[in-house]
A = this chain, B = another copy of it.
Amino acid sequence: MSSQAFDLLILGSSSASPTSERNPSAQLLNISERYFLIDCAEATQIQLRRFKAKFQAIDHIFISHLHGDHFFGLPGLLSSMHLLGRKQDITIYCPKELKEVMDLLNNVSDTRFNYKINWVFTNNDGLNLLFEDDKVEVYSFPLKHRIFCTGFLFKEKPLPRKVDKYKLDKFRISTADIMLLKNGFDVVNKDGETIKNETVTFSARNPKSYAYCSDTIYNPKIVDFIKGVDLLYHECTFLNDKKERAAQTFHSTAEQAAEIAKSANVKQLLLGHFSARYGDLDQFIAEAKPVFDNCLLATDGKRISI
C-alpha cells in the first residue's frame, strides 16, 4: 500500500450475535501505514488472519463501549500478540473498566504480557483528542447508547505540497530546499533569486477523514463532530419496521443513519451493525438511499479506499 493509504477493512458487520456470514463489530483502518483497530468482537483475530491483515502491525486499538460484541475478541487478540512474540507497546483507547477486565483475566490466568499496554481512557467531554502524530489525529466523541459509548474521528493532517521536479532544475533550486517547498515556503535559488512556492509546487489532495459511530440511538447532536467527513460509518441495527425497537434499545435504523449523513454533509455513508434477523442487506440500502444517495454496505472482508 502507498504511504498515503487511507484504507478501511471491515472485519465484522453484524450486531450482537455472529451469523454464518457476519461477525460482530471490528474494523481495521490503515492511514499511511498506521494500523488502527476499531472495536474487537470475538474472533477478530481469526478475521484478521482470514483477510490477511498483519495483526502485529496494529499499535492502536479503539474500543467504543463495553458490550461484548465490541470487545470480547480483545483478550484473545492481546494473548496471541504476546504468544507470537510481540515486544512493542500497544495503546488501547477505551472506557476505563476495560483495564479492570484485562487485569482480572491476566490475574486468573497468571499471565504477564511481554509487551506494555498503554491505556487511554475515553470520556464524555465532546471532541477529545486521543492520538496525534505528524500525519494523523484521532478524536473520540460521545454517542448515546444504553451504556457509556464513544464514536471515533480519524483525520489526516494536511498533506505536504507536491514538488514539480522538472521545475527544480529549471529554476536552479537546491535539492536541500525540497522540505521547505513541501511545507509551503518560498526559497532562494542557486542564483540568489527568491522563487515563490507556488511556482514550483502544487497542492496535494485534500486530507481525508473517517468517522465511526457505533452504537447509538438516532442523535442529531453528533452532527457537529462528524461534519463533512469523507466516510461516515453509522450503525443501523434495524430497518424502519423496527423503529420503536431501535429507540428502545438505543440503536438506529438505516433511514436515521442516512438522516445523520445528510445533516452532516458527509461524502459517503457506510451502513453496518445489522441485526441477525435481516438476511437481505439490500433492504438497508433501499431505505437509506432516498435520504442520502451515496451509501454502501459494510460486509465482512470488504476493503474501502477512502
Interface residues of A, Cβ cutoff 8 Å to B: 16-18, 20, 23, 42-43, 45-46, 49-50, 66-69, 72-73, 75-76, 79-80, 83-84, 95, 97-98, 100-101, 104-105, 108-111, 146-147
Question: What chain B residues lie within 8 Å of A110 (beta carbons)?
Answer: 146-147
B109 touches A147 (CB 8 A): yes
Question: What chain B residues lie within 8 Å of A50 (beta carbons)?
Answer: 20
Give me 14 A-to-B residue pairs in the complex whose CB atoms sit less than 8 angstroms apart, sorted by A's number. Answer: A17-B79, A17-B84, A18-B49, A42-B42, A42-B43, A42-B72, A68-B79, A68-B111, A69-B79, A72-B76, A95-B108, A97-B108, A104-B104, A110-B147
Q: List 17 additional A-B contacts (Cβ < 8 Å) besides A17-B79, A66-B109, A67-B109.
A: A16-B80, A17-B83, A18-B46, A20-B49, A23-B46, A42-B43, A42-B72, A42-B76, A43-B43, A66-B108, A68-B76, A68-B109, A69-B79, A95-B108, A101-B104, A109-B147, A110-B146
Bound complex: CA A80 to CA B15 (Å): 11
Out of B18, B45, B72, name the residue touching A18 (CB < 8 Å). B45
Bound complex: CA A156 to CA B139 (Å): 59
Bound complex: CA A121 to CA B220 (Å): 49
Bound complex: CA A49 to CA B110 (Å): 31
Nearest chain B CB to A16 CB, angstrom units:
5
Nearest chain B CB to A125 CB, angstrom units:
21
Question: What chain B residues lie within 8 Å of A75 (beta carbons)?
Answer: 42, 68, 72
Closest to A65 in B: B109
Question: What chain B residues lie within 8 Å of A101 (beta carbons)?
Answer: 104-105, 108
Bound complex: CA A104 to CA B68 (Å): 12
Nearest chain B CB to A168 CB, angstrom units:
49
Question: What chain B residues lie within 8 Å of A42 (beta carbons)?
Answer: 42-43, 45-46, 72-73, 75-76
A-B pairs, top 5 by smallest CB distance, nearest first, are A42-B76, A43-B43, A97-B108, A66-B108, A72-B76
Bound complex: CA A15 to CA B267 (Å): 46
Nearest chain B CB to A295 CB, angstrom units:
27
Nearest chain B CB to A5 CB, angstrom units:
25
Question: What chain B residues lie within 8 Å of A43 (beta carbons)?
Answer: 42-43, 46
A98 touches B108 (CB 8 A): yes
B108 touches A104 (CB 8 A): no
Bound complex: CA A232 to CA B34 (Å): 48
Question: What chain B residues lie within 8 Å of A100 (beta carbons)?
Answer: 104, 108
Nearest chain B CB to A238 CB, angstrom units:
14
Nearest chain B CB to A163 CB, angstrom units:
44
Nearest chain B CB to A85 CB, angstrom units:
11
Question: What chain B residues lie within 8 Å of A23 (beta carbons)?
Answer: 46
Out of B16, B18, B97, B105, name the residue touching A68 (CB < 8 Å). B105
Out of B20, B80, B108, B146, name the residue touching A17 (CB < 8 Å). B80
